[in-house]
Amino acid sequence: IGDFNDWTHDKNIMKKDNTGHFSIKLNPNPDGSPAIPHNSRVKIYLTLPNGEKIARLPAYIQRATQPPKEYNNP
């Protein structure tokens, strides 16, 4: 979920492979720009076996920043 899909939980569903890894392929936008541009806000939205729904940063993320004014950030 993220800026790229207006934080809609039921869009862009990931698929689990036979090794237990989840993945998704997002095609570029019609104008050729990336589906998830640089500096986009993204999270992985999971439903746990007990039914709890959580949002987390993806394990592969290479750059993460805190939004302004969160966590006592001036």
Q: What pTM value is reported for the model?
A: 0.71
- The C-alpha atoms of residue 1 and residue 17 are separated, in whole angstroms, by 20
pLDDT digits (tens, 9 = 90+) for 3-58: 999 999 999 899 999 999 889 999 999 999 999 999 899 999 999 999 999 999 98
Q: Which domain holds residue 60?
A: 1-73
* Contacts by 63-70, CB closer than 8 A, 24 or more apart: 67/41
- The total number of structural domains in the chain stands at 1
